[in-house]
Structure 1
Amino acid sequence: MDRRDWIWIILLGAIWGCSFIFNAVLIREIGPLWVTSFRVGIGALGCWAVMLVLRKPIPSDPVLWLKLGALGILAYAIPFALFPLAQANLASGVAAIINALTPIMTVIVSHFWRGGEKANRIKSAGVVLGFAGAAILASPALASGGDSRLWAIGACLLATLCYAFSLNITRSFKAIEPTAMAAIALTGAAVVSIPVAFLTEGTPVMVRPETWMAAIAIGLVSTAFTFQIMYRILPRVGATNFATTTFIAPVSAVILGVTLLGETVLPIQLLGMLVIFAGLLLIDGRIGKLWRRVAA
């Protein structure tokens, strides 16, 4: 990847790290399904506004709409609900650390995906390290018999698997205009999420101004804005490289969670994060390149 792509990936990772803080603020007043509904609903409106301003053509193929809508459910509706649901029992930084397993899940899915990026020995070692880091993260819950926290970790892992599948599926839509792709996919997620939220959690009640601010920020900044960038650079950098945005997200999430929300992160959880990051460096290929240079 060139320097410009790395700058965008770092920026996106930092913004998505903030989304875990927005989740933590939102679940104080509303349920996780409404967190998802506000995020994808406001995000979809933001993307359609960009479509109008840029005068982008709206695809008319109904089959394409159905496919992108289904992608939106897998990529956004499900994982966007799983993370706030898990954050009822996990600190924002810990959830973001588990989210850093996304590149590792992506390597596994891509290896078996038709036309996907095949894993070599170094990437396979990165996968093993990543899951070792996840085990370290889960160890406090296992030691204390914390079933709820262990379940929350499992929910986060399931969300990363959804991301891994969706990143590989997204490559098949590279001929679609990025703004239209984001708008239609988010609309599909909203069409499913909002009715389900009404049926299961009732009408949302938000009285705190910070809740409204978090809802707007997670919808417009963490979703609508970032997706305009994501769909433009993903075909260029590939699913595995793009998934390294989750390397950046835990850093901003941990710092903001501790400073703004007063959350605590255990030393063993920081160790788990370091092990996951070591796995990510192996997957990225930098350690392998450095080793070959030293050997030469």
Structure 2
Amino acid sequence: MALRDWLWVILLGAIWGCSFLFNAVLIRELGPLWVSAGRVGIGALGCWAFVFAFGKKLPRERAIYGHFLVLGILSYAIPFALFPLSQAYLASGVAAIINAMTPIMTVIVSQFWHGGEKVSWSKSAGVLSGFAGVAILASPALAAGGTSQIWAIAACLLATICYAVSLNYARNFKHIDPSILAACALSGATVAAVPAAFLMHGIPHLVTVEGWAAMLGIGLLATAFAFQIMYRLLPRIGATNFSVVTFIAPVSAILLGFTLLGETLKPEHIMGMIGIFIGLLLIDGRIVRRWQRAKT
């Protein structure tokens, strides 16, 4: 992978680590559904600005817009609400560590998805290691009877399942321009998220400068801008190389949470992160292949 691609991957990981910091700020003023609605709404506006600026053409098939709605709800509306909901009880870094389970969940979902990639022994070991890491993360809450933290961890895991399903579902859109796909899916997520937020939380009240900065940051930087980079980088470097982002985002979130929010991490959190990262390395497969070549 070229140096410039590594720099883009590191930048994306840092940006998505920031999204957990933005969530932690926003849930002080907004309900989780409004955090989701604001993120997808602002992100959609940013993506549409890019679409119109570059003269992208929309698909003519009407039926595909229903699929965009489904993809938007699975990829954005639900996960973007679950993470801020969980961060009312979890540190930003812990939520980001669990988010690194996304590739592991994707392996599981792909196994049962029609035409999905089947697992190997190394991927199976990676799945087990990842779940061992989550179990270690949950151990302090289990020992103390902290049901709120356990439910928060479960909410993060549900978000990663949504990501895994949507990644497999998104295979149906290979013929769609990535910018169009992001704009339409985020618009579908907005259509679903805004009414749900009104019903659940009523009229939003975002009054502080920090809150507005976090909303603009998570909508424009961590969503609209980041997705434009992601959809252009993926075809060039491939999904395996791109998965390195999942290593960088938790580190970014932990550093920002410690520096700016005064959050602390327990030794169990570090051990859990190591377990998940080992799982990601096994799923990636490159270290296993190098070890096998070295033996021969």
Deviation at 1:170, TM superposition (A): 1.3
Q: Deviations over 1:69-126 (max 9, x none)?
A: 1100011000000000000000000000000101100111122222222221111111
**2:91 matched residue in structure 1:** 91
TM-score by length of 2: 0.95
Letter of the 2:273 partner, please give it.
M
**1:204 matched residue in structure 2:** 204
CA distance in 2, matches of 1:9, 1:174: 22
CA distance in 1, matches of 2:3, 2:68: 30
CA distance in 1, matches of 2:110, 2:28: 37
Identity of aligned residues (%): 66
Alignment length, in residue pairs? 296
**1:44 matched residue in structure 2:** 44
Q: Which secondary structure does the structure 1 equivalent of 2:63 belong to? A: helix
Deviation at 1:208, TM superposition (A): 0.8
Deviation at 1:65, TM superposition (A): 1.0
Q: Which runs of 5+ in 1 are unaligned?
A: none
Deviates further, 23-32 or 225-234: 225-234
> What does 1:154-233 correspond to in 2, within 5 Å?
154-233=154-233
> What does 1:40-189 correspond to in 2, within 5 Å?
40-189=40-189
Cα pair 1:167 1:239 within 8 Å, conserved: no
Q: Which secondary structure does the structure 1 equivalent of 2:85 belong to? A: helix
CA distance in 2, matches of 1:266, 1:175: 46
CA distance in 1, matches of 2:239, 2:160: 13
Residue 266 of structure 2 is aligned to residue 266 of structure 1: yes
Alpha-carbon spacing, 1:239–1:270, altered in 2? closer, same or farther (3 Å): same
TM-score by length of 1: 0.95
CA distance in 2, matches of 1:29, 1:215: 11
CA distance in 1, matches of 2:153, 2:163: 16
Cα pair 1:102 1:243 within 8 Å, conserved: no
Deviates further, 126-135 or 169-178: 169-178
Q: Give the superposed CA RMSD.
A: 1.6
CA distance in 2, matches of 1:7, 1:111: 32
Alpha-carbon spacing, 1:263–1:278, altered in 2? closer, same or farther (3 Å): same
Residue 7 of structure 2 is aligned to residue 10 of structure 1: no
Deviation at 1:12, TM superposition (A): 1.8
CA distance in 2, matches of 1:76, 1:236: 24
